[in-house]
């Protein structure tokens, strides 16, 4: 589904990703872990197409297409979804209205029929079930005045409605208390599907207690320095990131 090959990315003149490679297949859940500054969020932003990220080398193939050539909205229509670390507030734009406009824009781009407001509301009601998102948030402006936890849950809710093929969660766990974390994890688990892949970007292992990944990758200094199964996250938790560096000094320095 997604094949990242030797990706080099510069931000504001500084190289952040230095030859990152990663393959993600449909149905898989990959966790990307790593210390601050390793380039985790950069990866998410590059995949979603944020401005200011310059790809100097390497490639990203998604469903056989060159993902990097697509505009952000075309990526969304193709099924790429980024749950933002810091979702922006958009004053005056109604949350429900926004989501319907986004869903219909995507459906239109894919040649599918757009949903009328009745169908859409039905969908929203259905997806809201079990989301524990206060219904009144749907009538507020996008992210405006939402608490940190509400913003994150709103991102997961958007994901549930938009049903992406590849969901990238950028530190969705940060700043959440344990209850909110569980709710977010439940939301994600409910969406696990053989046709859908997840990339979980996280600093801490605790999210992975609730969403058990198929693969864990450790990102350090702009590339993947170690990959393994879910157990790798526990070892990291036990030993810290320094442990990876010590174990793989030769590779990390290469």
Partner 1 sequence: MAIERTDLQQLLNRRYSAGFVTDIETDTLPPGLNEDVIHALSARKREPEWMTQWRLEAYRHWLTMTPPAWAKLNIAPIDFQAISYYAAPKQAPKSLAEVDPKLLETYDKLGVPLHERARLAGVAVDAVFDSVSVGTTFRKELAEAGVIFCSMSEAIREHPEIVRQYLGSVVPQRDNFFAALNSAVFSDGSFVFIPKGVRCPMELSTYFRINAGHTGQFERTLIVAEEGASVSYLEGCTAPMRDENQLHAAVVELVALERANIKYSTVQNWYPGDEQGRGGIYNFVTKRGDCRGDDSRISWTQVETGSAITWKYPSCILRGDRSVGEFNSVALTHHRQQADTGTKMIHIGRDTRSKIVSKGISAGRGQNTYRGLVKIEKSAANARNHTQCDSLLIGKKCGAHTFPYMEVKNPSAIVEHEATTSKISDEQLFYCRSRGLDEENAVSMIVDGFCKQVFRELPMEFAVEAKKLLEVSLEGAIG
The least CB distance from residue 226 to partner 1, in Å, is 28
Q: Where do contacts with partner 1 occur on this chain (CB under 8 A)?
A: 46, 48-55, 68, 71-73, 75-77, 81-82, 84, 87-88, 90-94, 98-99, 101-103, 105-106, 109, 141-142, 158, 162
**Min dist. Cβ of residue 78 to partner 1 (A):** 10
Minimum gap (Å) between residue 82 Cβ and partner 1: 6
Taking the least distance from each CB to partner 1, the nearer of 154 and 205 is 154
Closer to partner 1 by Cβ: residue 88 or 250: 88
SS3 158: helix
Cβ burial, residue 176 (10 Å; 0-12/13-18/19+): buried
User: Minimal distance in Å, beta carbon 79 to partner 1?
Assistant: 10
Q: How far apart are CA 167 and CA 165, in angstroms?
A: 6
CB of 155 to partner 1, least distance (A): 10
Report residue 52 as tokens: 């200011």
CA pair distance 40, 207, nearest whole angstrom: 16
Q: For the sheet with 215-220, list strands across it.
A: 80-83, 166-170, 197-202, 29-33, 215-220, 223-228
Residues 167, 64: Cα–Cα separation, whole Å: 17
By the 8 A CB rule, do 120 and 100 touch? yes
Nearest to 49 by CA among 71, 16, 76, 80: 71
Report the residue number, 11 or 252, with the smaller CB distance to partner 1.
11
CB neighbour burial string for 151-168, b if at least 16 within 10 angstroms, e if fewer? bbbbbbbbbbbbbbbbbb
Tell me how far, at minimum, the Cβ of 217 lies from partner 1, in Å: 23
Q: Collapsing DSSP states into helix, strand and coil, what is residue 137?
A: helix
Nearest to partner 1 of 54, 237 (CB atom): 54
Q: Enter the tokens of residue 166.
A: 């590849």
Nearer Cβ to partner 1, position 77 or 220? 77
Q: Tell me whether residue 76 or residue 220 sits nearer to partner 1 (CB atom).
A: 76
Shortest CB 172 distance to partner 1, Å: 15
Distance CA 109, CA 149 (A): 31
Q: Which is nearer to partner 1, 62 or 215 (CB)?
A: 62
């Amino acid at each position: 589904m997604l094949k990242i090959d030797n990706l080099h990315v510069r931000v504001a003149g500084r190289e952040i990703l230095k030859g990152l490679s990663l393959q993600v297949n449909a149905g898989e859940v990959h966790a990307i872990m790593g210390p601050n500054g390793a380039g985790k969020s950069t990866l998410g932003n590059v995949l979603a197409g944020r401005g200011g990220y310059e790809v100097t080398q390497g490639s990203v193939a998604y469903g056989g297409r060159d993902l990097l050539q697509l505009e952000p909205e075309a990526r969304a229509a193709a099924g790429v979804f980024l749950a933002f670390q810091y979702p922006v507030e958009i004053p005056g734009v109604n949350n429900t209205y926004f989501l319907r406009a986004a869903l219909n824009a995507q459906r239109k781009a894919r040649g599918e029929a757009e949903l009328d407001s009745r169908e859409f509301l039905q969908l929203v009601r259905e997806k809201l079930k079990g989301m524990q998102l206060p219904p009144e948030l749907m009538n507020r402006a996008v992210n405006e005045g939402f608490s940190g936890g509400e913003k994150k849950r709103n991102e997961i809710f958007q994901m549930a409605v938009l049903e992406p093929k590849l969901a990238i969660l950028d530190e969705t766990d940060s700043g959440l208390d344990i209850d909110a974390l569980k709710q977010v994890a439940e939301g994600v688990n409910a969406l696990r599907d053989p046709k859908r892949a997840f990339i979980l970007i996280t600093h801490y292992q605790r999210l992975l207690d609730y969403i058990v990944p198929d693969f864990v990758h450790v990102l350090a200094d702009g590339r993947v320095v170690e990959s393994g199964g879910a157990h790798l996250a526990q070892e990291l938790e036990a030993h810290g990131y320094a442990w990876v560096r010590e174990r793989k000094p030769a590779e990390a320095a290469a």
